[in-house]
């Protein structure tokens, strides 16, 4: 009777642990919590073994308990990288390195970047150049050009070098992390953009180079869909484009989830809604880091979390 009571108590603990692990927000808990939960399940597993040896419960019941423990062990996932940016410092815990451009952590505790790579949309620029307004402003442009040349001479910079930097302007920041081929990238993003693009890039190889790019274009449409790009030897290949066009450029917080499971099923969800689904198995080894790229616009990110895809992940 005493052994049976112990099994009953164990069942209650397992059910409670299962309820705790089943909550989506807790499944994406911090690494320390995952370690504690795994220890708890290991301890419960040992108790079930002891109960089995003492034959204090029906073998079928023991088998069901072991299956339940195994189920929830599979739902504990490794977190490869996590940053909330609430410490206002992106240079440590984890370390982010600015590859190009300028980044800051704003008052809302989010990583922020704004870049005006071209100052205006290419279409607007082409219309302006084809109109007669350029000739009307020519005297002013001459004066402005002379002022810029004078400033360049003083700084030792050549005017053509300054123009080139302006047109190539973008912002990129990356962080090293060992990421398994089956991954889930969860991030929150605020966009106040209407042109340009924002990218989430998985890096790999030695030295680290882009392997997969998730590209979001503000003001999305069938001409500007969310895309998954594979990159190899400097060449880019479009794997899949979204067929729905969620617009998140309202200055509010939205979520993007990028998943690839062990079978190679790859999905993109925006605010919980699936917008892209494909199969991609080209790169099967570990990735070495993640990069955020701003190619024109205003974006805020955070929190950012990269973890192992759930083994039973429903796509």
Q: What is the pLDDT of residue 130?
A: 40
The answer on pLDDT for 51 being more than 50 is yes
93-102 mean pLDDT: 95
Answer yes or no: are the C-beta atoms of 207 and 263 closer than 8 Å: no
Lowest pLDDT segment from 27-36, 98-107, 187-196, 268-277: 27-36
Say what percent of the chain tops pLDDT 90. 54
Answer yes or no: are the C-beta atoms of 241 and 224 closer than 8 Å: no
Q: What is the pLDDT of residue 127?
A: 42
9: its two tokens:
């108590």
The DSSP secondary structure of 217-280, one letter per residue, reads -SS--TTS--EEEEEETTEEEEEEE-SS-----SSSEEEEEEEE-TT-EEEEEETTEEEEEEE-
The answer on pLDDT for 265 being more than 50 is yes
pTM: 0.68
pLDDT band at 266; cut points 50, 70, 90: very high
Answer yes or no: are the C-beta atoms of 72 and 20 closer than 8 Å: no
Q: Torsion over CA of 42, 46, 48 and 53, rounded to 10 degrees? A: 160
Cα(61)–Cα(52) distance, rounded to whole angstroms?
10
The answer on pLDDT for 121 being more than 80 is no
Lowest pLDDT segment from 57-71, 74-88, 262-276: 57-71
Cα(96)–Cα(225) distance, rounded to whole angstroms?
28
Q: How far is CA 102 from CA 88, 95, 110, in A?
A: 15, 15, 14
- Per-residue pLDDT of 129-149, as tens digits, reads 344 433 344 555 555 566 555
């Amino acid at each position: 009777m005493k052994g049976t009571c112990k099994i009953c108590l164990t069942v209650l603990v397992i059910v409670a642990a299962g309820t705790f692990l089943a909550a989506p927000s807790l499944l994406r808990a911090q690494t320390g919590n995952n370690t504690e939960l795994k220890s708890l399940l290991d301890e419960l597993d040992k108790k079930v073994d002891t109960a089995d040896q003492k034959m204090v419960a029906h073998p079928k019941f023991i088998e069901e308990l072991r299956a339940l423990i195994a189920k929830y062990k599979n739902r504990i996932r490794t977190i490869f990288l996590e940053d909330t940016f609430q410490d206002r410092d992106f240079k440590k815990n984890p370390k982010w390195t600015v590859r190009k451009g300028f980044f800051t952590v704003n008052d809302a505790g989010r990583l922020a970047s704004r870049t005006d790579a071209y100052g205006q949309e290419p279409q607007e620029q082409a219309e302006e150049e084809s109109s007669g307004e350029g000739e009307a402003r020519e005297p002013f442009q001459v004066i402005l050009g002379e002022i810029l040349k004078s400033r360049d001479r003083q700084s030792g910079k050549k005017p053509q070098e300054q123009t080139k930097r302006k047109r190539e302007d973008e912002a990129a920041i990356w962080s090293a992390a060992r990421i398994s081929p089956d991954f889930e990238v969860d991030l929150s993003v605020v966009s106040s953009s209407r042109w340009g693009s924002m990218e989430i890039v998985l890096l790999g190889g030695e030295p680290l180079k882009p392997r997969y790019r998730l590209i979001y274009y503000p003001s999305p449409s069938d001409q500007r869909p969310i895309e998954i790009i594979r990159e190899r030897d400097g060449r880019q290949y479009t794997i899949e484009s979204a067929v729905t066009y969620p617009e998140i450029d309202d200055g509010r917080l939205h979520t993007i989830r990028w998943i690839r499971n062990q079978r190679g099923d790859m999905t993109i969800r925006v605010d919980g809604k699936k917008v892209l689904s494909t199969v991609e198995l080209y790169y099967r080894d570990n990735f070495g880091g993640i990069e955020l790229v701003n190619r024109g616009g205003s974006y805020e990110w955070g929190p950012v979390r990269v973890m192992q895809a759930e083994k039973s992940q429903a796509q």
